[in-house]
Structure 1
Amino acid sequence: MNLSQVEAFCTIADTGSVSQAARQLNCNRTKLSMAIKALEKELDTELFARSGNKLTLSEAGKAIYKDCENLLATSARIKQTCSQVSGEFNAEVWIARDDSLPDELWQDLTHRLNNNFPATSFNIVLASTGDLANLVATQQVDFAFGVDYERVDDPKITYNPLGKIRMMSVCSGEHSLCKLRRVSDEVLRDEMQAVMVYLNEKDNPELQPFSTRYIGFSSFDYMLNTILTEDAWGVLPEPLIRHHLRQQNLAVIRHTYGLTQEDYCMFTASGMQEHPGMTWLADKLNEFLFDF
C-alpha cells in the first residue's frame, strides 16, 4: 500500500467517480483504476460497491476512509516540516477571503502585507463564505479567512479562530418587518430573503434559506445592496453594516435569532507551514475584531 493508492481511494470516495477523480488528480483513468484494484488486492477486500459508472464506499471502505484521510494529512505535515527545517517558504501564496469585513480594511492590510513581505507574491481572491473551507481542503488556495458557520471534523483543514463576529438579521429601515415588536417564524418565512449561496456540494444547513422566497448571492455586499433596495431581509455581519445601522438605513429584525455570534477563522491545510506573512495578517485581523 502506497500513498498514491490511498490518495486515489480517498479522491474516488469523495467524487463517486473514477473519471471525476482522474480530472481532479490530473492523471489517467486507467492508472487510477489499476491503483484501486492493486489496493483492494493487497487488502483482500472490495472498497467500493459498483453500479454502472457510480462508485460508493463498501462497508470496508467506510471503515478505513477516515484513517486514509488522516494518513494523507500526516504525509502533508511531514513534507511541510521538512520544508520548514530547510528554511524554504513559498514564493507565491494564494489567499481566499469572504467580504464579512470592510473592503477598506482588506485594501489596507493587503498593501501593508505586500510591503512587509516583498519576497512573496500574494494572490487574494474573493470567495463565498460557504466555499472557504472547501477551497483550502481541495488545495485551490493555501489559506482562507472568513466566517466559520459550521466547523466539521475534517483532517484536511486546521481552523484557527481569530475572534467573534456578530451576525444580524436585518431589513431596510422602511421595511414592514422593522415596525413589528416581535417577528414570528411564519411572518419571516413569507418575506423575501437575500441569502448566501456557494459552490461547495456539501450542504451547510446554516446557509440554507429560511424564507420560502429568496434570492442568492455569493457575497455579503450583494446581499446588503438587495436588502437596501429590494424590500428583502437577510443575515449580515456587523462590521459590514454598522454605519448603515447608525444611519438607520438598516434595522435589526426582532426575531428569536436576530442576533447570533460566529467564529471568524483562518482556514489552513493540515500540515501547511504557516507563512510569516499569514501570522502577521492573522494578528492584524484578530486586533480588528477585538477592538470592534
Structure 2
Amino acid sequence: MKVSQLEMLLLCIELGSIAAAARKLNKSRSTVSTALNALEDDLGVALLERTGNRVKPTDIGLSILDESEHIIHSMHQIKTKCEHYLNGYETTLRIVRDDTLPEQFWRETTNELKKRYPGTSFFMYLAPSPEIVNCMESNIADVAFCTSFGWKESDSYQHEQLGKILFLSVVHHQHPLNQLRSVTELDLRRYTEIIQTYMDQERLTAFSPVSGNYHGLPFFELMRDVAMDQIGWTSIPSLLLESDEHRKTLKVIKCPEAMTWRPYLALMRESVEGGVIMKELCQKVKDYLYSAQV
C-alpha cells in the first residue's frame, strides 16, 4: 500500500470518476486504474464500485476514508519536517518569553513565521522575567526572550543582547506621589508598590521591592493595569504604555531613578545550535526594538 494509491482513491471518490481524477493528477486513466486495482489486490477487498465511467466507494471503502486521510496527512507532515531539517529549519521551536514587548508584536511575528515555516511546531510559554532563568536551566525552552535585571551568568545557557528597554516608574495622575514636585526614595516607601512576583524554588517571591507595602503580580501588563486603578506606583516597560489612555492616566514619577534603560536578551541553551528560524526571530526582535526607540 502506497500513499499515492490512497491519494488516488480519495480523489476518485471525491470526483466520482477515475478519468476525472487522472486528468487532475495529470496521469493517464490506465495508470490510475492500475494503481487502484493494485491497492485493492493488496488489501484483499473491493474499495470502489465501477459503473460505466462513474465510481463510488463500497461499504469498506467508505469506512477507511478517515484513516486514509490521516495517513496522507501524516506522510505530508513527515516529508515537510524532513525538508525543513535538510534546509536548516527547526522542526520544533520552544520559546519562553516575558511580557516586556507588547502582545501584538509576538502575535504578528509568530503568525508570520508559522505561515512561512508550516512544518515547524511553535511552543510559547509566558513567564515573569526573573523566572525565565529557571526555565532555561530546567531545559524547558530552546530560546528565551526577557529583560535583564543583572542576573548571574550560567553554564546552562548563553545570551545575546538584542537591544535596550526603557523602564518608567509611573503612578496614576491623581495619586499623591504625582502631586509632589520632587520624589525621594523615602516617599516611594510610604506608598504601595506594584511589584513583579515569581516562583523561586517553590516559593512566591517579590522581585527587589522598594516599599515594604507592595501588591505583587507576575506580569508587567497586569502591573500597569493595577496602577491605572490607583492602587499604587510601579515600574514597567515604556513599550507597554501603548494607548492614549495609558499615557494620559499614568505619569512618570519625578525622581532621578524613574527612567532606567535595561538590556533585553535572548537566552539560548549551550547544547542548542541556533537554526534559521531562531536566528530570524532574534533579528525580528532587534528590528522591533530599534524601530520602537527611534
How far does the alpha carbon of each residue in 1:46-104 deviate from its partner, in whole angstroms, 9 at most, with x for none? xxxxxxxxxxxxxxxxxxxxxxxxxxxxxxxxxxxxxxx98776422211111111111
Contact 2:193 2:210 in 1 (8 A): yes
Partner of 2:241: 241
**1:139 is aligned with what amino acid?**
N
Partner of 1:264: 264
Q: Could you say what secondary structure the match of 1:182 adopts?
A: coil
**Aligned in 2, Cα 1:219/1:196: closer, same or farther, shift over 3 Å?**
same
Question: What TM-score comes out, normalization by structure 2 length?
Answer: 0.66
Q: CA deviation at 1:136?
A: 1.1
Stretches of structure 2 that go unaligned for 5 or more consecutive residues are: 1-84
Question: What TM-score comes out, normalization by structure 1 length?
Answer: 0.66
**1:277 is aligned with what amino acid?**
I
Runs of 4+ residues deviating >4 angstroms? 85-90
**Aligned in 2, Cα 1:230/1:179: closer, same or farther, shift over 3 Å?**
closer
Question: In the aligned structure 1, how far is the partner of 2:180 from the partner of 2:276?
Answer: 50
Is residue 2:229 matched to residue 1:229?
A: yes
**Aligned in 2, Cα 1:273/1:280: closer, same or farther, shift over 3 Å?**
same
Say what the alpha-carbon RMSD is for the aligned residues: 2.4
Partner of 1:62: none
**1:214 is aligned with what amino acid?**
Y
Write the mapping of 1:208-219 to structure 2, written as runs, cut at 5 A: 208-219=208-219
Q: CA deviation at 1:172?
A: 1.0
Contact 1:192 1:232 in 2 (8 A): yes
* Total equivalences in the alignment: 207
Stretches of structure 1 that go unaligned for 5 or more consecutive residues are: 1-84
Q: CA deviation at 1:133?
A: 1.7
Q: Could you say what secondary structure the match of 2:181 adopts?
A: coil
Write the mapping of 1:1-292 to structure 2, written as runs, cut at 5 A: 90-201=90-201, 207-244=207-244, 247-292=247-292
**1:237 is aligned with what amino acid?**
P
**1:216 is aligned with what amino acid?**
G
Q: CA deviation at 1:230?
A: 3.6
Q: CA deviation at 1:117?
A: 1.6
Question: In the aligned structure 2, how far is the partner of 1:201 from the partner of 1:290?
Answer: 35
Question: In the aligned structure 1, how far is the partner of 2:259 from the partner of 2:207?
Answer: 15
Question: In the aligned structure 2, how far is the partner of 1:87 from the partner of 1:200?
Answer: 40
**Greater relative contact order (Cα 8 A, min sep 6): structure 1 or 2?**
1
Q: Could you say what secondary structure the match of 2:257 adopts?
A: coil
Q: CA deviation at 1:246?
A: 7.0
Question: In the aligned structure 2, how far is the partner of 1:131 from the partner of 1:257?
Answer: 24
**Aligned in 2, Cα 1:89/1:153: closer, same or farther, shift over 3 Å?**
same
Contact 1:150 1:206 in 2 (8 A): no
Structure with bigger gyration radius: 2
Contact 1:170 1:233 in 2 (8 A): yes
Contact 1:244 1:250 in 2 (8 A): no
Question: In the aligned structure 1, how far is the partner of 2:150 from the partner of 2:157?
Answer: 13
